[in-house]
Amino acid sequence: MIPTPASDSGVWSAPGRANLIGEHTDYNEGFVLPFAIEYRTRAKASRRDDGIIRVTSTFDPTPVEAALDDLPSLFDHPDHGIPEWAAYPLGVAWAALRATGIDARELPGLDLAFSSDVPIGAGLSSSAAIEGATASALNDLWALGLSPLELAKIGRTAENDAVGAPTGIMDQVASMLGRADAATFLDCRTLATESIDLGFDAAGLRLLVIDTGVKHSHATGGYGERRASCELGAASMGVPALRDLTLDDLPRAQALLDDVTFRRVRHIVTENYRVLDTVRALRESGPHAIGDLLVASHASMRDDFEISTPELDTAVDAALAAGAVGARMTGGGFGGAAIALVADDLVGAVTDAATSAFAERGYAAPHIFTVTPSRGAGRDA
Ligand code: GLA
């Protein structure tokens, strides 16, 4: 029996995220430390009586609809032909049905109208925001009773199997569980989470996003290749996941693996240590103490994991030269944004430095703005 929901309509929303540190460690069952940002995707949702789910959005004039009953057969085919933005919410509905085992014929249909101010393709996880807003709306309107972590898993299933992007679970957890002024420390093996106070405001710091404007997609290309290299590295080293390697294993990895695979492995192993060190530094000394870890993370992504771009390197170098406490690219890489931790009174100088450095190199002007660690997904009205 499906319990009766408290209401028939409402507004739900979920945020994008910035990752403070811990890049590409999630699908290696390691550690990450992302935080939800104030930019959100909203879903105005209402029940309908005909078993149809219909999605509309402010960024595409054409609505997309499907019978709930048809979702399994639709998403059985990788070439389902659903536009990518609509595959996120329809994929979440499909994944929710699969996860709960509820018969689609027992559920009412839904209208979902999306609007969003999360920058798309900037590495701030507009995808987790649309997934989180959808999952939260379905959880209430279908009275599913799922926990935020279970909703995060449904979001990841949608992204992996409906959209076809082989991502990990960091973004969905960050979007579901965010808290103001805090980051979510997530162990991607156990899925244990802990909220870590950031205290940027109290320390007189701001987190700047420098969006290079270079768009990326994780459904194609480099992201999947990196994931495959990591899986090869783990299999060659005889461990279930790279999470299981320590710094002491690196000499053996170097002897055993080809140079490229070894460097991919070294990034993951050292990045896991950097996440743990960042959590410790935040707890013991506060955010001024994490700058070197951010910088080391960027160097590792640039040199070992090779997912940075000249634009991202320029943003990081310019921010540091202008006095940022630390800076690194954030998200999956191959484009998107860098973050810089900057003292309040240097925000203007860092912005100017990055803007000039881009102009000197003939890059399109970056889009630079601050983000504030914010609350996670939920019902707004
Ligand atoms: C993307 C993916 C995440 C994670 C990051 C890299 O954002 O969605 O799962 O792998 O890249 O850290």
Distance 368 CA to ligand 1 centre (A): 21
Ligand 1 atom at minimal distance to the Cα of residue 165:
8
Distance 376 CA to ligand 1 centre (A): 18
Give the binding-site residues of ligand 1, using a 6 Å CB cut-off. Answer: 19, 23-24, 26-27, 125, 167-168, 170-171, 218, 331-332
Distance 309 CA to ligand 1 centre (A): 16
Tallying the residues shown for the chain, one arrives at: 381
Alpha carbon 1 to its chain centroid, in Å, reads: 35
Could you give the angle at the alpha carbon of 316 between the alpha carbons of 314 and 318, nearest 5°? 65
Ligand 1 atom at minimal distance to the Cα of residue 168:
9
Mutation test residue for ligand 1: of 21, 24, 217, 230, the one with most atoms within 8 Å of CB: 24
Give me the domains of the chain, ranges plus CATH numbers. 11-195 (3.30.230.10), 198-371 (3.30.70.890)
Query: What separation in angstroms does the CA of 150 have from each of 35, 45, 140, 185, 305?
Result: 18, 20, 14, 17, 30
Ligand 1 atom at minimal distance to the Cα of residue 24:
12
Question: What is residue 123's predicted lDDT score, i.e. its pLDDT?
Answer: 85
Token pair 């973050």 in the structure block, residue: 339
With the CA atoms of 80, 81, 86 and 92 taken in that order, what torsion angle do they form, in degrees rounded to the nearest 10?
10
Distance 33 CA to ligand 1 centre (A): 12
- Tell the residue nearest (CA) to atom 10 of ligand 1: 24
- Tell the residue nearest (CA) to atom 2 of ligand 1: 167
Residue type, 322: A
First vs last C-alpha separation in the chain: 27
Question: What is residue 122's predicted lDDT score, i.e. its pLDDT?
Answer: 83
**SS3 state at 370:** strand
Q: Which residue among the candidates 26, 140, 171, 304 is catalytic per the annotation?
A: 171
Q: Are 49 and 79 in contact (CB under 8 A)?
A: no
Give the DSSP per-residue string, 250-313: HHHHHHHS-HHHHHHHHHHHHHHHHHHHHHHHHHHT-GGGGHHHHHHHHHHHHHTS----HHHH
Mutation test residue for ligand 1: of 118, 171, 176, 339, the one with most atoms within 8 Å of CB: 171
Give pLDDT tens digits along the chain (381 positions): 455 666 799 999 999 999 999 999 999 999 999 999 999 999 999 999 999 999 999 988 899 999 999 999 999 887 888 999 999 999 999 999 999 999 999 999 999 999 999 988 788 999 999 999 999 999 999 999 999 999 999 999 999 999 988 999 999 999 999 999 999 999 999 999 999 999 999 999 999 999 999 987 666 679 999 999 999 999 999 999 999 999 999 999 999 999 999 999 999 999 999 999 999 999 999 999 999 999 999 999 999 999 999 999 999 999 999 999 999 999 999 999 999 999 999 999 999 999 999 999 999 999 999 999 999 999 999
Question: What is residue 182's predicted lDDT score, i.e. its pLDDT?
Answer: 98
Name the phi and psi angles at 226, rounded to 5.
Answer: -65, -40
- Tell the residue nearest (CA) to atom 8 of ligand 1: 167
Q: Are 305 and 27 in contact (CB under 8 A)?
A: no
Reply yes or no on whether 171 is catalytic: yes
CA dist., res. 43 & res. 88, Å (int): 12
Ligand 1 atom at minimal distance to the Cα of residue 22:
12
Alpha carbon 320 to its chain centroid, in Å, reads: 24
Distance 317 CA to ligand 1 centre (A): 23
Token pair 């504030």 in the structure block, residue: 372
CA dist., res. 178 & res. 201, Å (int): 17
- How many CB atoms sit inside 10 A of residue 96's CB? 25
**SS3 state at 109:** strand
CA dist., res. 196 & res. 193, Å (int): 9
Nearest alpha-carbon partner for 185 in 18, 24, 374, 34? 34
CA dist., res. 210 & res. 176, Å (int): 24
Question: What is residue 220's predicted lDDT score, i.e. its pLDDT?
Answer: 65
**SS3 state at 159:** helix
Give the burial class of 125: count Cβ atoms within 10 A of its Cβ; 0-12 exposed, 13-18 middle, 19 or more buried: buried
Ligand 1 atom at minimal distance to the Cα of residue 128:
8
Distance 60 CA to ligand 1 centre (A): 25
